[in-house]
């Protein structure tokens, strides 16, 4: 019939995606994207990247531990880390799908550029964008770190244990 789209599902293929990020710290916005992505894909790998150009509050191991704690009840989520190019990690994991959360129009512009760059680097890379839930649309790890460093409560943005650890790290950094 004209105008209708028929979608055929290939039941022999498992859809696996990688949700990359620094997750420093992991926020409720990240966890929202993870939960929602886990419903879209058969397997979702939350991949903690090491970006040598960024100063991190938490070590890769600490970020892996925190994400694992908050995703342990989602059976199709795997938490891992990588160094180097994301596309190399994806090749190792045998997937070509990247999951990204979008909060704002400026996020879309930035992520669109990244998606196109990844596709130029490896032409079969596909990026799937998930709109962040409204209540998390303004969350930003930098703002959370800034608020916590000034003594503000960030309990509305991160789980209680993450807030506690974040404040401990920031106090230690200030030498108190």
DSSP state of 135: G
Catalytic residue flag (residue 137) = no
Sheet holding 97-102, edge to edge: 77-83, 43-50, 16-21, 97-102, 126-131
Catalytic residue flag (residue 164) = no
CA distance readout (Å), 39 to 14, 133, 151: 13, 15, 36
Catalytic residue flag (residue 50) = no
Q: Which of 16, 38, 141, 165 is catalytic?
A: 141
Q: Which of 2, 39, 54, 176 is catalytic?
A: 54
Catalytic residue flag (residue 30) = yes
Point out the residues that are catalytic. 30, 54, 103, 141
């Amino acid at each position: 019939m004209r105008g209708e789209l028929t979608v055929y599902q290939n039941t022999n293929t498992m859809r696996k995606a990688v949700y990359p990020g620094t997750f420093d710290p992991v926020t409720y916005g990240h966890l929202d994207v993870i939960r929602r992505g886990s419903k879209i894909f058969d397997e979702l790998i939350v991949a903690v990247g090491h970006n040598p150009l960024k100063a991190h509050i938490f070590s890769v191991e600490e970020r892996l531990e925190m994400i694992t704690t908050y995703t342990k009840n989602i059976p199709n989520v795997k938490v891992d880390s990588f160094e180097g190019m994301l596309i190399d990690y994806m090749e190792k994991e045998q997937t070509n799908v990247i999951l990204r959360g979008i909060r704002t129009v400026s996020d879309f512009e930035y992520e669109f550029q990244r998606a196109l760059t990844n596709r130029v680097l490896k032409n079969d890379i596909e990026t799937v964008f998930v709109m962040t839930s409204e209540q998390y649309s303004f969350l930003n790890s930098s703002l959370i770190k800034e608020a916590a460093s000034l003594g503000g409560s960030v309990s509305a943005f991160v789980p209680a244990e993450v807030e506690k650890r974040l404040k401990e790290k920031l106090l230690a950094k200030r030498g108190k």
